[in-house]
Structure 1
């Protein structure tokens, strides 16, 4: 087996794209909080964060090896195809966990603690719950919301209202984003015994939930304009831009309510990815204009 194929399997096992987006979030959180930017900590945070998410993804794929084999989207992953042995994946997952947490611990103990909570919740609670109840999405939203906050904790060694706010923003964002994916993958998920739509239904009631969470997301993302969230605050003009951004997501959610087709679900999913990327950039730019 050639090196390119092995590297490609390694990338699939640790979900490089997803891991990098998480690293992006934690670096944005760090830049938002840091009084003085230390490149060494940025690097440690990027590597530690990447290893943390890579470990979660690897554990997830070990647990879901058999269900992955049933779905088109995942059947070609290294474990269901047998290209990689479970023991090899376990070695990667465990070593990523140990090294990742050690690196986060070298920044400060609180960062390592949140990293450990994230891996534990994703692997031990969210992954097994997926086959049991749509409420798994709520559990999954917790580790999913940790990275943005983790960056702040890495910079300040404190958990306070500011990182709490960053956590809330990314927490509420998970729902419209993930349910849009669950809508698109509904039939595939069903084959594997997963039903992750709110209340287990793919209908207008589910989309009402998406709309509610999108509205909550827009509200929490502009709360810092009120200057009630400690040192994390934004200019009124920034708040206006964020409402406009969030309204794009809301627009697609309402379209999904009206038409209930995959086209709108895909538009909502893509607009949610754009939203979370831009909001983090906008917060950082706003901070440097203060």
Structure 2
């Protein structure tokens, strides 16, 4: 009886591990940011949406993001195997077959796009489909391995979710949703180049032409500073156009000042160890920066709806 019980426990743990590996294929941490920015886009959109339909829309966007992650891991299995940051992913670690990841990504892509179209409208579904295609094909299969501007252009994929959420409600694209896109689009280069500065050896070993490996550290630091300033400027557009009020404005100015300060501190570094430390600090800060900006958008909007502003 003890042996049977032990065998059952081993089987359950193995099953849980396998399910966990398939969940890892969907890049849940990336998915959480996608879902949050899409939710903000959906909630800020004028007109409102039935809560059930809205929940279905967010679920579809989450599934679409997961599909993109699975397709990315399928195609990048070779370079993931030589990078310390990715070597333990399910495919290079040998826990999941590449073909299984491809099948999962394709099935989830079709399912998410079709369900979103049926539940909301086909503009939102088309944007979601294009986002998956852009990330999996344009970025992963082409840009990532061919140009040091891979992150700049490829960043569009991560910037589309709030537009998808907005379109799910309104069936249209507006200047407000484009501004939400722009904030994420300009956030992406300094975020990933800060990471690339202290992970140069990984990208070099994988043959990925990230900017520090191709153009050098100084050019990268200059580009990070330039994009950081552009990012903060774009984050003030909602305030300048009257789309957002004082709560958002204060948050954008405060967090933006921190972002530019860290980018400036990184730019001024000359010694390798200090540069890697400054790069890590900016990368870590950038993760919370985007979350705070979009939370401030939501908070300011809620305050207006409740009549507090």
**TM-score calculated relative to the size of structure 2:** 0.88
Alpha-carbon distance in structure 1 between the residues aligned to 2:64 and 2:173: 19
Alpha-carbon distance in structure 2 between the residues aligned to 1:63 and 1:238: 39
- 2:214 pairs, out of 200, 208, 214, with 200
* Deviation of the 1:38 alpha carbon: 2.7
Task: Within 5 Å, give how 1:76-225 maps onto structure 2.
Answer: 76-105=88-117, 106-128=119-141, 129-197=143-211, 200-225=214-239
Alpha-carbon distance in structure 2 between the residues aligned to 1:130 and 1:263: 25
Gaps of 5+ in 2: 1-10, 305-309
Please state whether the residue corresponding to 1:31 is helix, strand or coil: helix
CA contact (8 A) 1:125 1:139 kept: no
* Deviation of the 1:11 alpha carbon: 2.0
CA contact (8 A) 1:26 1:45 kept: no
Alpha-carbon distance in structure 2 between the residues aligned to 1:156 and 1:61: 33
Alpha-carbon distance in structure 2 between the residues aligned to 1:86 and 1:199: 28
Alpha-carbon distance in structure 2 between the residues aligned to 1:43 and 1:241: 28
* Deviation of the 1:262 alpha carbon: 1.5
Q: Which residue of structure 1 lines up, in the alignment, with residue 4 of structure 2?
A: none
Q: Which residue of structure 2 lines up, in the alignment, with residue 239 of structure 1?
A: 249
Alpha-carbon distance in structure 2 between the residues aligned to 1:37 and 1:199: 47
Q: Which residue of structure 1 lines up, in the alignment, with residue 6 of structure 2?
A: none
Alpha-carbon distance in structure 2 between the residues aligned to 1:265 and 1:41: 41
CA contact (8 A) 1:75 1:81 kept: yes
The RMSD of aligned alpha carbons is: 1.7
CA contact (8 A) 1:72 1:188 kept: yes
Deviation string for 1:189-243 (max 9, x for gaps)?
111101212682342221111111111111111112222xxxx611245323311
* Deviation of the 1:34 alpha carbon: 4.2
CA contact (8 A) 1:183 1:202 kept: no
**TM-score calculated relative to the size of structure 1:** 0.93
* Deviation of the 1:137 alpha carbon: 1.2
CA contact (8 A) 1:186 1:195 kept: no
Please state whether the residue corresponding to 2:236 is helix, strand or coil: helix
Q: Which residue of structure 1 lines up, in the alignment, with residue 295 of structure 2?
A: 281
Deviation string for 1:259-290 (max 9, x for gaps)?
25221111111111111101111111111222
Q: How many residues align?
A: 286
CA contact (8 A) 2:70 2:101 kept: yes
* Deviation of the 1:138 alpha carbon: 2.1
Deviation string for 1:49-92 (max 9, x for gaps)?
11111111111111111111111121121111221112211221
Gaps of 5+ in 1: none
Q: Which residue of structure 2 lines up, in the alignment, with residue 57 of structure 1?
A: 69
After superposition, the Cα gap between the structure-2 partners of 1:22 and 1:172, relative to the gap in structure 1 and judged at 3 Å, is same
